[in-house]
Amino acid sequence: MKALTANRLTDGEVVFWKQGQWLDRFADAELFDDEAVAEAAEAHAKTQVTLLVEPYLIDVAEVEGGVAPVSYRERLRALGPTNKPEHGKQAQGGAQIEILAHAHGAASSKGRIDLIKRK
């Protein structure tokens, strides 16, 4: 399963794709079972240059209670910094945030590594 994410150009906020819209919460993200559909959405996102920076697909998996990004880094992006629970998306709290916060398992996120190299 995949989801499409990016940072919003104007404020850097982490956003997720849902049927043509960009929303703040991972809980709202559209989940792609079909790679081709996911890639088409990504290709479209890459043309939205005045809206986004660096859109990329992330792996998503089922976890206890719901779904969560596979990589630890992506879960942090969907939550906020662990040293300041009052900042970032996690501040809203709620069941969806709890699911993310308690998800286990991990993998590196390739999207970001790309970012590093081009720096």
Partner 1 sequence: MYRYDDIDQAMLTDRAAEFREQCRRRLAGEITEDQFKPIRLMNGLYLQLHAYMLRIAIPYGALNSAKLRKLAWVASTYDRGYGHFTTRTNLQLHWIKLKDAPDILDALAGVGLHAIQTSGNCIRNLTADPHAGATADEADDPRVWAEAIRQWSTFHPEFSFLPRKFKIAVTGATRDRAAIRIYDIGLRLHRAADGELAFEVLAGGGLGRIPFLGPTIRERLPARHLLSYLQAILRVYNRLGRRDNIWKARIKVLVATLGAEEFARQVDEEWEASDKAAVDLPDTELARIRAGFAPVGFETLPPVSAAFETAKLDDRAFARFARHNITAHKQPGYALIDVSLKAIGETPGDCSAEQMEVIANLAERYSLDEARVTYEQNLILPHVKLDDAPAVYRLLADADLATPNIGLISDIIACPGLDYCALANARAIPIAQDIARRFESPELAEKIGELKIKISGCINACGHHHVGHIGILGVDKKGEEFYQLTLGGSGEDDASIGQSLGPALPAERVAPAIDQLVEVYLRERTTGERFIDTYRRAGLAPFKEAVYAEAH
CA dihedral 17, 86, 97, 69 (to 10 degrees): 50
With b meaning 16 or more CB within 10 Å and e meaning fewer, what string describes 5-15? bbbeeeeeebb
- 7 binds partner 1 per the rule CB under 8 A: yes
Q: Which residues from 77-106 bind partner 1, rule CB under 8 A?
A: 77, 80-84, 87-88, 105-106
Nearest residue to 14 (alpha-carbon basis) of 84, 105, 75: 75
Q: How far apart are CA 81 and CA 39, in angstroms?
A: 29
Residues binding partner 1: what is the number (CB under 8 A)? 33
Candidate list 33, 47, 50, 95; residue touching partner 1; CB under 8 A: 50
- Interaction of residue 28 with partner 1, rule CB under 8 A: no
- Asked if 21 interacts with partner 1 (CB under 8 A), we say no
> Helices 95-102 and 72-79, interaxial angle, to 10°?
150
- Provide the minimum distance between the beta carbon of 24 and partner 1 in the complex, in angstroms, as a whole number: 11
Q: Please, are residues 99 and 89 in contact by the beta-carbon 8 Å criterion? A: no
Candidates 7-15, 17-25, 33-41, 60-68; binding stretch for partner 1 (CB under 8 A): 7-15
Q: Which is nearer to partner 1, 37 or 108 (CB)?
A: 108
Which residues lie near partner 1 (CB under 8 A)?
Answer: 7, 9-14, 49-50, 53-54, 70-73, 76-77, 80-84, 87-88, 105-108, 112, 115-116, 118-119
